[in-house]
A and B are shown apart, each in its own frame.
Chain A
Amino acid sequence: MERRELEAKGYLVTPGFIDLHAHLREPGFEESETIASGARAALRGGFTTICAMPNTEPAIDTPGLVAEVIARGRAAAAARVLPIATITRGRAGRELADLIELSAAGAIAFSDDGSPVDDARLFRHALEYARTKDLLIIEHAQDTSLSRSGAMHEGVVSARLGLPGIPSAAEETAVARDIAIAEMTGARLHLTHISTRGAIASIRDAKSRGIRITCDVTPHHLAMTDDWVAGSRAFAWEREGHGREAPLARNGPAPAVDADRFAQSQARLSLEKPPARAVPYDSSIKVNPPLRDWSDVRALWEGLVDGTVDAIATDHAPHASVRKNVEFDQAAFGISGLETAVSLVLGGVAAGWADRSTVIRALTTGPARVLGIQRHDDDWIAIDLDSAWTVAAEELVSMGKNTPLLGRTLRGRVVYAVVGGKARYDGGVRGASPVGSR
């Protein structure tokens, strides 16, 4: 099908999306996802290019492994797969991986994602060394001594549910460290899956000072709040004006504040009842960084609108059911996100939280600029903006069915994806035979 034909049918035709951050689990965890299944799931979500995170087993830390990921990506003949290699050998955080050789083998960027590089000295050296070829370092910014035992965002909801918290400060202190080291080294640094308003403020300030820093946010952090762990299923824009934290909440201990002032907005330990409910402690919501509160979500959207946020990346984290069908605190972190990403962010657009062009940019030119790559003109997709579809485990192409959106009806669906001029996904465009679907 031609672009013009699809436009004439009323579909939105855009350049193919680029995902800076996806976990394809191969090699090592093929029960959760493979490069092929992930690359096919990507097309369903409109991503014609995806960057594969290297926290596999073994971790992608040798040129041979990089070449293997590239070969398997090609063989899948779905979305383009760009391998990210580790910053440190074995992702162990002790010594640098061979960044230049890995880059020569085709690594598009470097990350120990899943963990930060805890050792600030080693992180400094990684950035300094990356300058040799202006390589891109992608950091999972988190102070693990603050986040270690946490299972969800630390706040009112974690207090009520009795779950150990991951405070916003775990991200905010790490972002401050990373910005300072980026500034002193002059290297390119991309901070991935930013989730807190404090981190957005720091990045905005760093950019205004000319530091070479970029960041992305995920669709789930743009759409969901920490009270999803308590059973809420209201998207952030469905509860506008509610659940706002007291302004003093983060300014340290303030026992002098009269709690009665806030009592009216609280039903005992509960927040107000949002429109949809589910059983609390659903492990499909467990994700790192955790879903934050409403004001954090608002700050992510503001960052998207004012350009502080460069890209929307899925942090697609598929898991086999055995790792999720357990107690909440025992469950693996991660949400399977490739196939629901665009529907989620279009929900925010429909609510008026950003222009459609802003989120499309953050899915296309934004990530291309972060990676320093040219977009392929013959990678394009068609979206049916009005199509409502219900997320069902058996319909997801990803092997990871771990999404809190199962059973939820979303609006906006990718119906056609072209990679390198070849139609590789047809999700039911009228007058065309299915190609590469499922």
Chain B
Amino acid sequence: MRWSRRHILDTDDWSTEEIEAVLDTTGAMVEVLSRPVRRAPPLRGRTVVLFFAESSTRTRVSFELAARTLSADVVNISASGSSVEKGESLYDTVRTLQALGGDVVVIRHSSSGAPYFVSERTDAAVINAGDGWHAHPTQGLLDAYTLRGALGHLAKKRIVIVGDVVHSRVARSDINALVPLGATITLSGPPTLMPSAWRCGQAPAGTTYEMDLDRALDGADAVIALRLQKERQEGGLLPSLREYTRVWGLTEARVSLMRPGAPVMHPGPMNEGVEIDAAVAHGARSLVERQVTNGVAVRMALLYLLVGTPTLEAS
């Protein structure tokens, strides 16, 4: 398959072939990462700008490692906040980035859609590293890669996503990456944390909503727990974290309702004791650390596909 995308903004219109192309390339990157000297030259001379307008150590470090492993130069720009009131507009920042030059801009931003804004106003390739509630394409792809590795394939597999779906860019990108590979998704969690349309018969194709987590987990092939922001309680969306944990927390007893050995994932950072028990988070089923490792490989794959030169040979 010939790669034709210029930006990675959202995976909602990706074909199955495109997703598979990224996962296959990720496999090659895992091999690069397993070498004694973890370095390959395809991004030599390229500059990757990491523009994180919302704090995130994990994703930023993952992208930085990915870019450096492929021999790119990395520039970090962190801006706290971005609105006009705070004095520096996103437009202003983007014009500055454009003037400085840079082959790739990796952007994390609290506003849904901000990567589209950037892609319209710069010549660089733009990778969305998480925008508001909208999308986190690299997380969706790394979850797909991790699940495919654990389950062999995703055709007819049923994956449960539990938690704060309405505010979750991870949930949206997981749906977009997993459904084209043949998986079905059962969304679970409190109705207040579910998009209203998805609760009322308009869930995306390949997904259903099951409020009762035990029923959702019964016979499932894997579960992805989402991070619960503590502010949701103050926002009147939840009575208490205690009640949330009792009804939607992942416990040993609950995960054993799935098929034997069915894996447990979490995008991190985890609130252990809230959405997931420590015993589950660090237990035999947990793929959380593998997700982190695979995250670097997926980001390498995307950088390579966007701006890499064809060789992966060590120099």
Contact = CB atoms under 8 A, between A and B. Distances in A.
A279 interface: yes
A254 B207 CA distance: 15
Contacts of A104: none
Interface in A244-299: 245-246, 248-255, 257-263, 266-270, 279-281
Nearest to A159: B195
B197 interface: yes
B133 A268 contact: no
A337 to B, nearest CB: 23
B112 interface: yes
B62 interface: no
Contacts of A322: 84, 89
B109 A249 contact: no
A270 B197 contact: no
B111 A261 contact: no
Contacts of B198: 159
Interface of A: 154-156, 158-165, 167, 245-246, 248-255, 257-263, 266-270, 279-281, 322-323, 325-330
Contacts of B297: none
B169 A268 contact: no
B109 A327 contact: yes
B116 A281 contact: yes
Contact of B201 (A249, A279, A329): A249
B179 A268 contact: yes
Given A253-B199, A262-B201, A161 B209 contact: no
Contact of A257 (B132, B176, B201): B201
Nearest to A280: B116
Interface string B182-214: 000000000100011111111111111111000
Contact of B202 (A156, A270, A329): A156
| Interchain residue pairs A-B with the least CB separation, the first 5 | A281-B113, A162-B133, A162-B134, A159-B195, A327-B111
B141 to A, nearest CB: 15
Given A159-B197, A161-B113, A327 B83 contact: yes
Given A162-B172, A268-B180, A269-B176, A326 B90 contact: yes
Contacts of B116: 279-281
Interface centre among A163, A248, A250 (most CB of B within 10 A): A163
B81 to A, nearest CB: 10
A246 B201 CA distance: 7
Given A268-B179, A279-B120, A326-B91, A255 B111 contact: no
A93 B282 CA distance: 55
Given A268-B204, A327-B113, A328-B112, A155 B132 contact: no
Contacts of A254: 199-201
Nearest to A164: B133
Given A249-B201, A259-B209, A270-B12, A328 B196 contact: no
B204 A250 contact: no
Nearest to A247: B201
A81 B211 CA distance: 55
A252 to B, nearest CB: 8
A251 B202 CA distance: 12
A160 B82 CA distance: 23
A270 B14 CA distance: 11
B202 A246 contact: yes
B204 A255 contact: no
5 contacts: A159-B202, A162-B169, A162-B172, A257-B200, A258-B201
B90 to A, nearest CB: 6
Contact of A325 (B91, B111, B179, B180): B91
B172 A327 contact: no
Contacts of B135: 162
A165 to B, nearest CB: 7
A31 to B, nearest CB: 13
The A contact surface, by secondary structure, is: loop
Contacts of A253: 191, 199-200
Nearest to B10: A280
Given A254-B200, A268-B179, A270-B13, A330 B207 contact: no
B91 A158 contact: no
B152 to A, nearest CB: 23
Contacts of A163: 112-113, 132-134
A162 B202 contact: no
Nearest to A165: B196
Nearest to B121: A325
Contact of B89 (A258, A261, A270, A326): A326
Nearest to A265: B205
B214 to A, nearest CB: 14
A281 B197 CA distance: 19
Contact of A268 (B12, B112, B119, B196): B12
Interface in B130-187: 131-135, 166, 169, 172, 175-176, 179-180
A245 B197 CA distance: 10
Contacts of A257: 200-201
B91 to A, nearest CB: 5
Interface centre among A261, A266, A323 (most CB of B within 10 A): A266
A185 B113 CA distance: 46
A165 B133 CA distance: 12
Contacts of A323: 84
A144 B195 CA distance: 20
Interface centre among A163, A255, A279, A322 (most CB of B within 10 A): A255
A326 B112 contact: no
Interface string B1-45: 000000000001100000000000000000000000000000000
A66 B179 CA distance: 60
A266 B119 CA distance: 27
B114 interface: yes
Contacts of B83: 326-327, 330
Given A255-B199, A281-B113, A326-B83, A263 B132 contact: no
Contacts of B82: 327, 330
Contact of B204 (A160, A245, A248): A160
A150 B90 CA distance: 21
A260 B202 CA distance: 9
A250 B134 CA distance: 23
B200 A246 contact: yes
A327 B111 CA distance: 6
B201 A248 contact: yes
Interface centre among B82, B120, B198, B202 (most CB of A within 10 A): B202
Contacts of A267: 205
B200 A329 contact: no
A280 B7 CA distance: 14
A252 B197 CA distance: 10
Contacts of A325: 89, 91
